[in-house]
Every structure is written in structure tokens, then in C-alpha cells.
DNA sequence: TTGTATGCGTTATCAG
DNA sequence: CTGATAACGCATACAA
């Protein structure tokens, strides 16, 4: 069923049908009624491809994510869907499973006219990314990593991490261990570690390499990292760069017959759904993922509409959540 | 940049370029090389809309989900992406936020030729769903709920729930409470409750309405439901229909100065990422969400390709995970 | 093997 | 206000 058929049935021209559908131009009320009636009767829906081919617009945005099945990512996507829906956009999701190669691949796939704009949660941004992006000629918004010349929405990783470290210091801790991830991930690996360094240094606490261990985001890796640290000595506190890794660390501590927070205090970053309900409840910095998703989509919308190249950098704040996984050190 | 331009630059006809791109028909190796070279040089990508308009195929599948930001859903989506990628399909995600209205709306949106097929995780399937689906004329696969005349991939809810109830009974429990959700949700609300009833009845345990409370999937509602139950008496065990609700119940029990599993044993269903690490580790039935997603996508692919109406019902099994949230009742 | 020409379903221009 | 008709970019039947 196409416009031509509707036109025939309603005894008007295809052009008129199109006008009725798009509410454009002038159409006598009478004919408008007739057309609408026919459309209703035959349950007609326009062919989106023909439409997009003609208008050079799809009302679809591409979203590239590292792994949809994580709380962080799925919440961001949730935020994106909310705004995209408001603007009558659909979401094309590309799941890269943390493979940079896939990321580049999808970027290329999206370079055909399928999408009107792209939101990308890249973990690492390479020169190849930039190169492809450069001759992409489509609005792009980065989430989670700041990229020059592109608008990006990021968390305040530095201050959130610093807040955690400072909180531990204020509670009297000096032997503060660090459970992190590879510095290849700028936001989580590099920035948060730097904040840890800075916080300690500013308080005249010497950095002890034996108190630092690196994992790969998983709870299990947090467990393992904590194990490595305990092998070399017992800190009074540990700051993990994600809640998941903090959970792993806590389990490891317990398996070593120590308790949290009595023997060792623990902090995370992120505040996932379970952090508040974990036992002990985790002290952490709450991130606003959904808000990030919303902002990313809002900015993409305005980029698409204004065709302007006005890039901007948005830093979304955090809330410190003080819970029971941290204890004060008693003056001895 | 379009095919015509490539043709001009490579000194061949548009048809030849098309043949090279689609690897169809015969093209002399020499010209093929030339065309490929030009395509490479100018970084040409075909216009998907024109292509789809012509071929009546988009290589896009629509996925309708109730809420992307839950572990269950995002894992299923993860599975879907894996298979869709293998088959060179893209995913158009529609997030309905649990609104049936939105579900119907998206179903309509997808009825234009945008997608080649649909996977839908419906919570409730109404007559309206069926009506729309009926004149949709596109392959559809249901996930999570069994729908007549359509292929559906479901968990073995009945047996999983029954296994939990039976496990408690075997451990000597007789005062077994039930924390469920509305029966509007067939799989989680109705089927799992029936399993609870049947298990108890088969073991000659009388159903006690005071031991039954209903929530809405959230951890908080599990807490609340447990509170209602405790108000009326103290069971020796409680079976929650989801892990999240089990967590809520456990918190409530602890807040009432009772302990798990010493005073009250608790079971969930699902086995989310945290269930194993919760304290106490939760006894539950592990669901294979990713597998469900994969199966759903595989079946959709075969429906798309074969154009056959061969519907099928797949029931995906579960694994019982015995952990520390359940105790035996001592013979007194 | 290759090229020409047509049509996929819309929108938009232009004449009426 | 309304109706022809020309693109949009591609795949393909048909001719060569």
C-alpha cells in the first residue's frame, strides 16, 4: 500500500495525500478528511526508506556502547531513550563488547546515511577514531571521555575520586590502598588514579606502590587485586575505582578473616543499585548515569537541528554517599 | 558521493559498480580492482535507504524491551546483539518503560518497512497486541511470555519456582512465605505463584494467605512485602520470585533483628550478578538470559530467511544454585 | 562481461 | 488549493 493507492482510493493526487500526511501546504478540509479516512481504513503507514531517501533524514541516532549489559551503560542508554523518544527519534544500538575494532567498524557503518547523529561511549579514543570521525560529517557526542573538538559529557571523575580519598584521610587513614584499572581507560584508569595520588600527596602521605593493584572492572578482579595487596601488608583502608571492584575487595578481605569496616575501610565509585544494600553498605560517590544519557541526547539533538559546530564540554557532578563501609581510625 | 560518481571515476557503468559492491554477476577482475580502488580512495559507503527501498530489506531488527536498565533485560539484549552481529543485522531498540501503550505504539512504528523482524519482551500481551501483530506481516519472536501462534522463548518459570519451593520443603520448612508480583505478569506473577501453590499442596502443606505478599519487582517492594508478612507472624522461610525482591526481604528480616538463614531462610529466582556475592549468598535458580537473547535472535533470523510461519516454543532451563541463604530446620 | 534504463515510495517544485 | 512530475541513490532486467 503506497501513497498512490491512497490517492486513488481517496480520489485525489499523491501530492495531496503527502500534504495531508505531513500537514504541509493547503488542503481543503473536505479532502483532508477523505484522505485520513482512507489511511485509517487501510491501515497505511508510509515507507520510511523512501521518506528518508528523499529527505536525507532518518530520525534515527546511532549509539555505540562498550557493553550493554552493565549497569552503568544501560542506565545511560535509558537516559538517551527518554530524550530521543521526546524528539521522535529511534535508537540504533551498537554493542562493541569492549573491542576497539568493533567501535571503529560501527563508526564506519553509521557513516552511511542511516543515522542523523551518533552518541559514543568510547573507552579509548584512538587516532583512527578521530580520523573516521573527521570525514563523517555527522554530529557526534562523546560520553565518558573528553575528546577535543567534540562535545562530550563526562563525570567529574577527578573530584569524585579525590573526595573518596579525602574522606578516608579525614577519617584518620594513612595506609590507603588503591584498587584500579588500566590507565588505557582515561576516565576510570588514569584520572581516578591521579586523584588518589594527589589527595595523598597533598596530605603529605607517601605513595606506597605495594598498596596499589590493578584489575579489569570485574568484581573478581577486585578480589584478586585486594589479595595481592594483602599479601604485601595490611592497609587500614582501600579505595576502589568502581563499586564492583569494591565488592570484590570486601569479599577478599572477609575471606582473609578480616572485617569491613572494623579492620579495613572500603570505598567505591559509582553507586550502583546494590551498593546501598550491600552488607556493609558501601561508601561511594554516586554518579548520575541517566542524567548523562539525557544530556548527551539533548546535546546531540541540538547539534542535529542547528547544524552548528558549537561543541561543548559538560561535566556532571556526583554525590558523596557516606555509608557503613568506612570507619574512623581511633587515636591510639 | 553516489554510485554514479564512482562509476565515472572508475570509468565504468553504475551497474558494474553495483556488481562489485554486492559481489554479484560477472565483472572482469581488472575493472573490479579499479572500482574498489576508487571506492577506497573516496571513502564511499552506499546509501542504506536507497538500498533498502530497492531491496525491501533493511537488515535491521526491532527490539522492544520493558526497561533497558535492568540486568535481566540488558543481558537478553546482549545475547541478541551477538547473534544479530553475526548475521549482519543492526538493532533498533525501543524502550517502553513498562508502559503497555508504548509497547503498542512501537509495534506500530515498526510496522512501516523499517525493520525486517521484531523481538518483543512484553510483560503483558493484550488483544490489541495480537490485533496489531496480526496485520503486521513481519516475523515476530516473543521473549519471556508464551504467545499462541508466535514463536516464543521462555524460561522454565514453573519448574524453577517449584524447585525453590521444594528445596525449602526438603530442608524441613513448612511455614514458607511467598513474596511475589502482580499476576498481570504471567511469567513472574502467575506461573511462579502457581508453582509455589503446587509444591506446597503436593507436600500436604496448607496454603496460608497470611504468608503471601505482593510487590512490584523492586528491592524496596520486597522489603515492604516482607514487612507485611512479619507483621502477621514469623515464617521459617520465604521464597521471593526475583533475586531483587529476595534482597529486599533479607534486609527487612535483618532490620527486624532476625537473621538469615538462622531465623529465616530466603530464596530468589534469577541469579543476578550480585546474588552470589550478597551476604548471605543467595540460594536461587540461575536463568540464562543471554542464551534466551541468542535463541530469540537465531529464531528470528530463520523466520526472516525462510519466510516460513513455522512457529516454535522454546523453554530454556535453569540451574539451581544452593548457597548460604537457606538453612535446614533441625528436628526439635 | 558490460551498459542502459526503469522503478522502489516519497517529497517538493512548478504550473495550473 | 491541487495535480503532474522530477528527483533521491540504488539494484536489476534486459540488451548488447
H-run or E-run covering A72: helix A71-86
pLDDT at B136: 83
User: Residue B331 pLDDT > 60, yes or no?
Assistant: no
User: B185 with B123: CB under 8 angstroms?
Assistant: yes
Distance B106 CA to C11 C1' (A): 24
Higher-confidence position of A135 and A57: A57
Pairing of strands B90-95, A90-95: antiparallel
For A208-253, how does the pLDDT look when each residue is reduced to its tens digit (9 = 90+)? 999 999 999 999 999 999 999 999 999 999 999 999 999 999 999 9
User: Residue B332 pLDDT > 60, yes or no?
Assistant: no
Q: Does residue B268 sit in helix, strand or coil? A: coil
B73, B93, B277: residue with CB nearest A247: B277
pLDDT at B89: 96
pLDDT at B127: 92
pLDDT at B124: 86
> What is the residue-averaged pLDDT of chain B?
94
Beta carbons within 10 angstroms of residue A183's beta carbon: 14
For B235-264, how does the pLDDT look when each residue is reduced to its tens digit (9 = 90+)? 999 999 999 999 999 999 999 999 999 999
For B153-179, how does the pLDDT look when each residue is reduced to its tens digit (9 = 90+)? 999 999 999 999 999 999 999 999 999
pLDDT at B122: 85
Q: A312 pLDDT band (50/70/90 cuts)?
A: confident
The answer to whether the Cβ–Cβ distance between A274 and B279 falls below 8 Å is no
pLDDT at B212: 98
User: A27 with A16: CB under 8 angstroms?
Assistant: yes
- Assign residue A43 a region (left: φ > 0; alpha: ψ between -120 and 50; beta: otherwise): left
Q: Which structural domains are found in chain A, ordered by start?
A: 3-46 (no CATH), 60-155+289-317 (3.40.50.2300), 157-286 (3.40.50.2300)
User: Residue B231 pLDDT > 50, yes or no?
Assistant: yes
Residue B136 touches partner A, C-beta closer than 8 Å = no
CA dihedral A249, A252, A253, A255 (to 10 degrees): 160
- Assign residue A49 a region (left: φ > 0; alpha: ψ between -120 and 50; beta: otherwise): alpha
Determine the distance in angstroms separating the CA of A49 from the nearest CA of chain B, rounded to an integer. Answer: 5
User: Residue B111 pLDDT > 90, yes or no?
Assistant: no
Q: A136 pLDDT band (50/70/90 cuts)?
A: confident
User: Residue B305 pLDDT > 70, yes or no?
Assistant: yes
* % of chain A residues with pLDDT over 70: 98
What average pLDDT does this structure show over A83-98?
94
* Cell matching residue B206: 496448607
Query: Which chain B residue has its CA at the smallest distance from A220's CA?
Result: B277
The answer to whether the Cβ–Cβ distance between B113 and A70 falls below 8 Å is no
Surface of A (228-287) touching B: CB under 8 A: 247-248, 251, 273-274, 277-279
**Residue ranges near strand C (C-beta within 7 Å):** A 2-4, 14-15, 18, 21-22, 24-25, 44, 46-47, 50-51, 53-55; B 11-16, 19, 25-28, 30-32, 50, 53-54
**Residue ranges near strand D (C-beta within 7 Å):** A 11-16, 19, 25-31, 50, 53-54, 56; B 2-4, 14-15, 18-19, 21-22, 24, 46-47, 50-51, 53-55
* Cell matching residue B268: 530468589
Higher-confidence position of B25 and A112: B25
For B181-216, how does the pLDDT look when each residue is reduced to its tens digit (9 = 90+)? 999 999 999 999 999 999 999 999 999 999 999 999
Cis ω before A280 (30° cut-off from 0): yes
User: A287 with A75: CB under 8 angstroms?
Assistant: no
Cα angle A307, A309, A315; round to 5 = 115
pLDDT at A332: 47
* Cell matching residue B64: 522492544
Could you tell me how many residues make up chain B? 332
* Cell matching residue B56: 525491501
Determine the distance in angstroms separating the CA of A163 from the nearest CA of chain B, rounded to an integer. Answer: 26
Amino acid at each position: 500500500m503506497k501513497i498512490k493507492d491512497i490517492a486513488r482510493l481517496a480520489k485525489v493526487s499523491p501530492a495531496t495525500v503527502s500534504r495531508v500526511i505531513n500537514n504541509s501546504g493547503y488542503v481543503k478540509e473536505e479532502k483532508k478528511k477523505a484522505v485520513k479516512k482512507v489511511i485509517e481504513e487501510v491501515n497505511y503507514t508510509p515507507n520510511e526508506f523512501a521518506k528518508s531517501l528523499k529527505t536525507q533524514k532518518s530520525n534515527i541516532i546511532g549509539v555505540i556502547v562498550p557493553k550493554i549489559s552493565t549497569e552503568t551503560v544501560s542506565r545511560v542508554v535509558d537516559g538517551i531513550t527518554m530524550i530521543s523518544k521526546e524528539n521522535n527519534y529511534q535508537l540504533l544500538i551498537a554493542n562493541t563488547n569492549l573491542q576497539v575494532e568493533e567501535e571503529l567498524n560501527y563508526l564506519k557503518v553509521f557513516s552511511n546515511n542511516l543515522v542523523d547523529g551518533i552518541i559514543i561511549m568510547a573507552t579509548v579514543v584512538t587516532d583512527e577514531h578521530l580520523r573516521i570521525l573527521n570525514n563523517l560529517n555527522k554530529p557526534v557526542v562523546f560520553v565518558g571521555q573528553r575528546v577535543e573538538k567534540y562535545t562530550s559529557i563526562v563525570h567529574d571523575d577527578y573530584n569524585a575520586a579525590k573526595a573518596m580519598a579525602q574522606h578516608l584521610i579525614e577519617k584518620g587513614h594513612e595506609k590507603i590502598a588503591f584498587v584500579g584499572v588500566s590507565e588505557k581507560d582515561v576516565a576510570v584508569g588514569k584520572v581516578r588514579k591521579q586523584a588518589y595520588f594527589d589527595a595523598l600527596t597533598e596530605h603529605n602521605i607517601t605513595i606506597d606502590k605495594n598498596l596499589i593493584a590493578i584489575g579489569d572492572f570485574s568484581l573478581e578482579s577486585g578480589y584478586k587485586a585486594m589479595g595481592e595487596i594483602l599479601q604485601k601488608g595490611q592497609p587500614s583502608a582501600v579505595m576502589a575505582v568502581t563499586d564492583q571492584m569494591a565488592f570484590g575487595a570486601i569479599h577478599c578481605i572477609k575471606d582473609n578473616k578480616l572485617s569491613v569496616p572494623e579492620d579495613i575501610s572500603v570505598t567505591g565509585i559509582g553507586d550502583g543499585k546494590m551498593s546501598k544494600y550491600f552488607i556493609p553498605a558501601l561508601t561511594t560517590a554516586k554518579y548520575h548515569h541517566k542524567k548523562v544519557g539525557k544530556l548527551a541526547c539533548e546535546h546531540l539533538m541540538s547539534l542535529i537541528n542547528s547544524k552548528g559546530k558549537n561543541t561543548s564540554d559538560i561535566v556532571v557532578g556526583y554525590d558523596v554517599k557516606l555509608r557503613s563501609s568506612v570507619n574512623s581510625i581511633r587515636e591510639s
